[in-house]
């Protein structure tokens, strides 16, 4: 058997550069026969020293401190964008125009206008394009989707989504790029609420109307004094000069879905005690599903069809019988982690490339999520319901 090799160039060797590199190395160990074998060909960082170090650490054959060399490299099949949000459009558009397949981290871009240009370039080039909303790859989330699709909870009426973290509570945490609007685009909205929007669209359908509210709690932070951009683990530098935070710390919104369901989302990086409390509760007319990423091996199901004296939530512990489970670990309850979500994401990307089929979620999905995020920001300013504008040429 000959399995195709796909040469990957990764741009950015921070948190996501690490997660994606792990996935490229590990995917064929789990999914075998692999649809294609990713080869860690080249990695880019901002300096020669960082790039060389990243290649040694993450197992790449080559390194560069100029991402354009990856775009110009005829050997590269896939460009993987793992840098802060402001750089996604230029890299993705250049990669698509060079005929490379592209996986880009979320949010696809800072604004819908930027994301739309990326989507248009990718579609025009006919490449495989994927936006990296990896939490939907958690087996319990994929199981929730199949239970909705097979009618287990009936017609969905309400989606309640949350993404609560607490790493940004400390006012002396450095001014990471995640607190700067010109780099990140927005705060909790683009950084974490977009993951919940991906759940909402994946599980329930398109979001067509929003009514949002956004708050900022910390207005300035110490300017980092060199070194890598760090989050919760960062050293405090309380006596450094401070710069403005110009993004939201918390966002809440009500939602209306195209299919008639309603919903709500809350997202903040300021909820003491919540570490990565990403979850949903979905009410159908025959039952309820509950998921909490902090207990990511479990899906809670309540069925109104159970006998009256048996009704109650049951906990399904995911394993080989559930989505992707056969390829992961041999018995239920061993547990999946963040790494496995990225390994599954990598499998789906390689499968789309090998089979020549569209990837899911695509840049179209990434674009639509930025349209919804923009509408939430407009609605929070206006204090009213806003229709989501998906622009001309988008099919609802
Ligand atoms: P990070 O700050 O940990 O790493 C970014 C890296 O990119 C840094 O090492 C930086 O030096 C490098 N970089 C910046 N500009 C570059 C350039 N022009 N060429 C080469 N390297 C460059 O950031 P992190 O957390 O990895 O975030 C990157 C992206 O991934 C963001 O869009 C973020 O929203 C997304 N993300 C997604 C997650 C998910 O669960 N899907 C989790 C964390 C981040
Ligand atoms: C910080 O809030 C962060 O790293 C986000 O950027 C990711 O998207 C999220 O999955 C984990 O937390």
pLDDT in tens, 360-384: 999 999 999 999 999 999 999 999 9
Q: Could you tell me the CA-to-CA distances from 106 to 123, 189, 279, 284 in Å, in that order?
A: 18, 12, 18, 29
Task: List the residue whose alpha carbon is closest to atom 12 of ligand 2.
Answer: 192
Mean pLDDT across the stretch 184-206?
98
Q: How far is the CA of 310 from the centre of ligand 2 (A)?
A: 39
Residue 393, domain member (yes or no)? no
Q: Tell me the C-alpha distance between 150 and 168, whole Å.
A: 40
* pLDDT (0 to 100) of residue 232: 61
Phi–psi pair at 250, nearest 5 degrees:
-150, 140
Tokens 């300013």 label which residue? 381
Ligand nearest the Cα atom of residue 224: 1
Taking CA 9 as the corner, what is the angle to CA 5 and CA 11, rounded to the nearest 5 degrees?
Answer: 155
One domain for residues 147 and 128: no
Q: How far is the CA of 303 from the centre of ligand 1 (A)?
A: 41
Q: Tell me the C-alpha distance between 257 and 373, whole Å.
A: 14
One domain for residues 84 and 144: no
Domain closes at, from 335, 364, 385: 335
One domain for residues 75 and 47: yes
Whether residue 179 has pLDDT greater than 90: yes
Ligand nearest the Cα atom of residue 192: 2
One domain for residues 35 and 176: no
According to DSSP, the β-strands at 277-284 and 262-268 are: unpaired
Query: Is residue 317 very low, low, confident or very high in pLDDT (cuts 50, 70, 90)?
Result: very high
User: Is the CB of residue 40 less than 8 Å from the CB of residue 362?
Assistant: no
Q: How far is the CA of 200 from the centre of ligand 2 (A)?
A: 18
Dihedral over Cα of 112, 14, 191, 231: its sign: negative
Ligand 1 pocket test: which of 9, 13, 16, 52 has the largest number of ligand atoms within 8 Å of its C-beta? 16
Q: In whole numbers, what is the pLDDT of the chain averaged over residues?
A: 96
Query: Is residue 226 very low, low, confident or very high in pLDDT (cuts 50, 70, 90)?
Result: confident
Residue 363, domain member (yes or no)? no
Q: Tell me the C-alpha distance between 256 and 375, whole Å.
A: 12
Q: What is the CATH number of the domain that holds 316?
A: 3.30.360.10
Q: How far is the CA of 227 from the centre of ligand 1 (A)?
A: 14
Domain closes at, from 74, 107, 134: 134
Phi–psi pair at 262, nearest 5 degrees:
-120, 175
* pLDDT (0 to 100) of residue 392: 72
One domain for residues 230 and 106: no
Domain closes at, from 104, 134, 164: 134
Q: What is the CATH number of the domain that holds 80?
A: 3.40.50.720
Sorted by sequence, the CB contacts under 8 Å of residue 309 that are 6+ apart come out as none
Query: Is residue 396 very low, low, confident or very high in pLDDT (cuts 50, 70, 90)?
Result: very low
Residue 101, domain member (yes or no)? yes
Residue 107, domain member (yes or no)? yes
Question: 240 is in which domain, residue-wise?
Answer: 139-335
Mean pLDDT across the stretch 19-30?
98
Tokens 């759940």 label which residue? 199
Q: CB of 341 closer than 6 A to ligand 2?
A: no
Q: How far is the CA of 394 from the centre of ligand 1 (A)?
A: 29
Ligand nearest the Cα atom of residue 193: 2
Closest ligand 1 atom number to CA of residue 134: 41
One domain for residues 173 and 194: yes
Task: List the residue whose alpha carbon is closest to atom 1 of ligand 1.
Answer: 14
Ligand 2 pocket test: which of 192, 195, 267 has the largest number of ligand atoms within 8 Å of its C-beta? 192
Residue 52: is it exposed, middle or buried by C-beta count within 10 angstroms (0-12/13-18/19+)? middle
Residue 361, domain member (yes or no)? no
Q: How far is the CA of 180 from the centre of ligand 2 (A)?
A: 15
Whether residue 393 has pLDDT greater than 70: no
Residue 80 half-sphere exposure toward CB, CA atoms < 13 A: 31
One domain for residues 185 and 300: yes
Residue 228: is it exposed, middle or buried by C-beta count within 10 angstroms (0-12/13-18/19+)? exposed
Q: What is the CA radius of gyration of the chain?
A: 21
What is the total count of domains within the chain?
A: 2
User: Is the CB of residue 301 less than 8 Å from the CB of residue 314?
Assistant: yes
If phi > 0 it is left, if psi is from -120 to 50 it is alpha, else beta; for residue 140 that is alpha
Q: Could you tell me the CA-to-CA distances from 159 to 133, 243, 372 in Å, in that order?
A: 18, 37, 16
User: Is the CB of residue 266 less than 8 Å from the CB of residue 251?
Assistant: yes
Q: CB of 191 closer than 6 A to ligand 2?
A: yes
Give the chain's end-to-end CA distance (angstroms, integer): 41
Residue 69, domain member (yes or no)? yes
* pLDDT (0 to 100) of residue 395: 44
Residue 364, domain member (yes or no)? no
Ligand nearest the Cα atom of residue 168: 2
Q: How far is the CA of 93 from the centre of ligand 1 (A)?
A: 18
Q: What is the pLDDT of residues 351-361, one digit of tens each?
A: 999 999 999 99
What residues line ligand 1, using a CB cutoff of 6 Å? Answer: 11-16, 44-46, 67, 82-85, 87, 105-106, 132, 134, 191, 229
Ligand nearest the Cα atom of residue 16: 1
Q: What is the pLDDT of residues 279-298, one digit of tens each?
A: 999 999 999 999 999 999 99
One domain for residues 128 and 147: no
* pLDDT (0 to 100) of residue 1: 66
One domain for residues 196 and 300: yes
Residue 277, domain member (yes or no)? yes
One domain for residues 102 and 152: no
Closest ligand 2 atom number to CA of residue 192: 8
One domain for residues 159 and 297: yes
One domain for residues 187 and 126: no
């Amino acid at each position: 058997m000959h399995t195709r090799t796909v040469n990957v160039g990764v741009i950015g060797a921070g948190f996501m550069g690490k997660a994606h590199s792990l996935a490229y190395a590990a995917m064929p160990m789990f999914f075998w026969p692999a649809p294609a074998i990713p080869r860690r060909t080249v990695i880019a960082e901002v300096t020669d020293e960082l790039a060389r170090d990243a290649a040694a650490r993450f197992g790449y054959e080559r390194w560069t401190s100029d991402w354009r060399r990856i775009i110009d490299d005829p050997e590269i099949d896939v460009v993987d964008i793992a840098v802060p949000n402001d750089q996604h459009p230029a890299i993705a558009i250049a990669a698509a125009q060079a005929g490379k397949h592209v996986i880009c981290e979320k949010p696809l871009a800072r604004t819908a206008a930027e994301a739309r240009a990326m989507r248009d370039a990718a579609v025009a080039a006919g490449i495989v394009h994927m936006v990296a909303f990896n939490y939907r790859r958690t087996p319990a989330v994929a199981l929730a989707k199949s239970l909705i699709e097979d009618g287990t909870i009936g017609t969905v009426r309400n989606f309640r989504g949350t993404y609560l973290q607490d790493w940004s509570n400390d006012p002396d945490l450095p001014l990471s790029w995640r607190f700067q609007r010109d780099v990140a685009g927005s705060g909790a909205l683009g950084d974490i609420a977009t993951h919940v929007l991906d759940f909402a669209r994946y599980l329930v359908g398109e979001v067509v109307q929003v009514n949002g509210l956004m708050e900022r709690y910390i207005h300035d932070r110490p300017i980092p004094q060199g070194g890598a951009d760090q989050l919760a683990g960062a050293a405090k530098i309380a006596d450094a000069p401070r710069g403005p935070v110009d993004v939201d710390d918390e966002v809440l919104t009500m939602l209306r879905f195209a299919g008639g369901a309603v919903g709500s989302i809350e997202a903040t990086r300021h909820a003491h005690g919540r570490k990565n409390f990403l979850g949903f509760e979905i009410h159908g007319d025959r039952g309820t599903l509950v998921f909490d990423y902090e207990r990511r091996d479990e899906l809670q199901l309540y069925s109104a069809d159970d006998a009256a004296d048996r009704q109650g939530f049951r906990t399904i512990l995911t394993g080989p019988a559930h989505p992707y489970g056969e390829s992961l670990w041999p018995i239920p309850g061993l547990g999946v982690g963040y790494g496995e979500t990225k390994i599954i994401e990598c499998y789906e990307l390689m499968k789309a490339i090998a089979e020549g089929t569209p990837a899911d979620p695509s840049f179209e999905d990434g674009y639509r999520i930025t349209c919804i995020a923009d509408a939430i920001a407009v609605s929070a300013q206006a204090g009213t319901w806003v229709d989501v504008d998906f622009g001309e040429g988008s099919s609802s």
